[in-house]
Homo-oligomer: A and B are copies of this chain.
Amino acid sequence: MDRRMTLKALYEHSNCDDCPIRHRAVCAHCEKDELEQLEEIKYYRSFEAGQTLIWSGDQMSFVGSVVSGIASLTQTMEDGRTQMVGLLLPSDFVGRPGREVAPYDVQATTDLVMCCFRKKPFEQLMATTPHIAHRLLQMTLDELDAAREWMLVLGRKTAREKIASLLSIIARRDASINKAGMAGPIVFDLPLTREAMADYLGLTLETVSRQISALKRDGVITLEGKRHVTIPDMGRLMEEAGDDTDGGFLV
């Protein structure tokens, strides 16, 4: 894969209603010109599936959030073992205000559109408008909770539980985006290859495949083709994941 990428900014929209940062910035304390300032330093970028947006150790020039598609954060050891350490779905934030250098690779797992802000101006804006900083702290705390929940998955769950955990995370996020409830069957397309799932779960792709087959055989999920998943009973899936069944909070 080519290490360089098209850095051309894509000013596709002059005003952007679907930008998650903007939505998040809109609150009782917002002032009109704060939004305008955000607009000024905002731009869009598209990436193809498989592209690496940022390499570990690179200078970071922007922060931003996922508009559509999926990005992933991965760490790699010298011998090639890789571990995905974050899965960024639409509305998730990317970047470390105040940091110069990226601590891990950021990849486009699917075709991806990002809403970006140039980093320096964004940091200045953060310094002058406290509620953006506050919002960012809340988002970072959410990420930290998610990372720590995932540590339990990586450290203590069996392969079957790991798969069920991943499916239930994706299903939950998907249902909340589509504003569907938890009741009734949930249907979605798996946005990850077996290999990407393996990298997220600390497994091999063969084990992922076997466990998905097993969940299918046992009626926990239904598969059409290799990617289209139906979950007839979300509670059952969460049991398989080893989670508290009642802890079904929507993020």
Contacts and interface: CB of A to CB of B under 8 A. Distances in A.
Interface of A: 73, 75, 77-79, 81-83, 85-86, 96-99, 103-104, 126-127, 130, 133-134, 136-138, 140-141, 143-145, 147-152, 154-156, 201-202, 242, 244
Most B Cβ at <10 Å: residue of A97, A127, A134, A136? A134
Contacts of A77: 152, 156, 242
Contact of A155 (B73, B104, B154): B154
26 contacts: A73-B148, A75-B151, A77-B242, A82-B156, A83-B151, A83-B152, A86-B148, A96-B141, A98-B138, A98-B141, A99-B141, A103-B145, A103-B148, A104-B148, A127-B134, A130-B130, A133-B134, A133-B137, A136-B137, A137-B140, A143-B144, A151-B151, A151-B154, A155-B201, A155-B202, A156-B202
Given A83-B155, A143-B144, 19 more contacts: A75-B149, A75-B151, A77-B156, A78-B242, A81-B156, A83-B156, A85-B148, A85-B151, A97-B137, A99-B141, A103-B145, A103-B148, A104-B148, A127-B134, A133-B134, A137-B140, A154-B202, A155-B201, A156-B202
Contacts of A130: 127, 130, 133
Given A81-B156, A202-B156, A141 B140 contact: yes
Contacts of A97: 137
Contacts of A154: 151, 154-155, 202
